[in-house]
Structure 1
Amino acid sequence: MYVADDPTLPGYLIAKAANDDRLPRAIRITLANGAVLLYNAYISLSTIPSLTVNELMSVQVTLSLLAEPVRYAS
C-alpha cells in the first residue's frame, strides 16, 4: 500500500505512529463489493518517497501479518 508523502495528512500520521510504537494492529479493509478483510499485523512505513514522473510522491506502507486474514463476504 502507499500513502501520500505528506506528514500533515491523517493516513501518513497514523502509519507513522504505528511504525514508531511497533505494536500489532487490527486492520479492516472494506472492498468495493462490501466484503470485509480483517488483518492482525505490524505496520511499517518507509519514509523514502517514490519519485515517479507525473505522479504524486508517496511512501510505502507494509503490513507484516501475524495470522491468516479473515474474510467476510458481502
Structure 2
Amino acid sequence: MCEICGFEKCPSSCPNYIPPKTTYYCSICNEGIYDGEEYIENDIGEYAHWECVNYGRDLVRFLGYDIKTMEER
C-alpha cells in the first residue's frame, strides 16, 4: 500500500504513480496508446487515438490525403 495515497495501485495524481509502458504513440497528441484504447493506423505506420481524430478533415490528413479546392481549368 502506498504511504502517500493509501492505494495499492497509485492513481495518476500520486507522486509515486508509475505510468504504464507503451511502444506506440499517437501522432496527433503524442501521448502513449495503452491497452484497451481504440486507435487507427495509416499506411505509413503512424498511430492515432480514435478520439484524437474527431473530424473528417483530421482523418483525411492523418491518412495522408490532400484536401483540394476545385478550380476551373
TM-score by length of 1: 0.19
Higher Cα Rg, which structure: 2
Greater relative contact order (CA < 8 Å, ≥ 6 in sequence): 1
TM-score by length of 2: 0.19
Structure with greater strand percent = 1
